[in-house]
Amino acid sequence: MDLVVIGASSLGKSVVQIARSYALYPPIGVVDDGVSTGSLVEGIPCLGRIDELAGLRRSLPEFGVVIAIGAPRTRVEVLARLHTILPKPVLLTIIHPTAVFLGNVHVGEGTIVFPGCVVGPGVEIGRASILNANVSIGAGSHIGEYVNLCPGANIGSEAWLGDGTYVGMGAAVAQQVRLDDWSVLGALSFAREDVPAATTVVGSPARSTGDEA
């Protein structure tokens, strides 16, 4: 099945290259509301705005999409928009061949796994999440939907990350710690205690900034 990448930022460009390595879903184009139609993104054309996927479906019935947008809330909005544009959008899962899955791992539809990731046995990853380069997830952890784990994030065994969680570059979550929905752990921070929903924490040990995520 052919792949259309939603988003032409640096993340989208990386996903195009990962898809080429993955080989199962050849990328045929990107869509982005802020990029001119016909512009080349990593050698493939921008097909226009996201809304133009409806026209593409008429000319190319069999294609799937992946949402290459880092902000979790924006990914939710784009997916809702997709359901108004396409009757049954097909979310493709993209996994770089150098990613390592140790045992039985569940990966939800539309999730992107970058090079160098190591995922332990029994891990569950929800749909439309992003595991950036060199992310490590310990055995038995739960990763919700629309999660973004930035490069080098380290998630301890049996941790629980709720929907829309954002873990910054090089940050770590201790074993059995829970980050509730839409919480944010800043770059290079260490969460050794549970983090409430929609809370931003930074530092080592991580403490709330007082700002709602």
pLDDT per residue as tens digits for the range 186-201: 999 999 999 999 999 9
Which run of H or of E encompasses 58? helix 53-59
Q: Is the pLDDT of residue 213 over 80?
A: no
Tell me, yes or no, whether 105 and 53 share the same domain.
no
Same domain, 39 and 98: no
114 and 138 both lie in a single domain: yes
Backbone angles phi, psi at 54, to 5 degrees: -60, -45
| Distance (Å, whole) CA 154 – CA 135 | 6
Higher pLDDT, 143 or 57: 143
**59 belongs to a structural domain:** yes
How large is the average pLDDT for residues 26-38?
95
Specify binding-site residues for substrate: 70
Rounded-to-integer distance, Cα 181 and Cα 153, Å: 18
Q: What is the CATH classification number for the domain harbouring 27?
A: 3.40.50.20
The pTM score is 0.95
* Residue 184 in domain: yes
Pairing mode, strands 124-125 and 106-107:
parallel
Q: Is there a single domain that holds both residue 105 and residue 19? A: no
- pLDDT tens digit string along 123-181? 999 999 999 999 999 999 999 999 999 999 999 999 999 999 999 999 999 999 999 99
Same domain, residue pair 192 and 98: yes
Please give the pLDDT value at position 101. 98
Q: For residue 212, is it within any domain?
A: no
CB atoms under 10 Å from CB of 60, counted, come to: 13
Whether residues 78 and 107 share a domain: the answer is no
d(CA 91, CA 66): 6
Which residue ranges make up the annotated binding site?
A: 70
Residues 100 and 142 in one domain: yes
Tokens of 116: 């160098």
User: Can you tell me the distance from the alpha carbon of 208 to that of 167, in angstroms, rounded to the nearest whole number?
Assistant: 14
Host domain of residue 23: 2-85
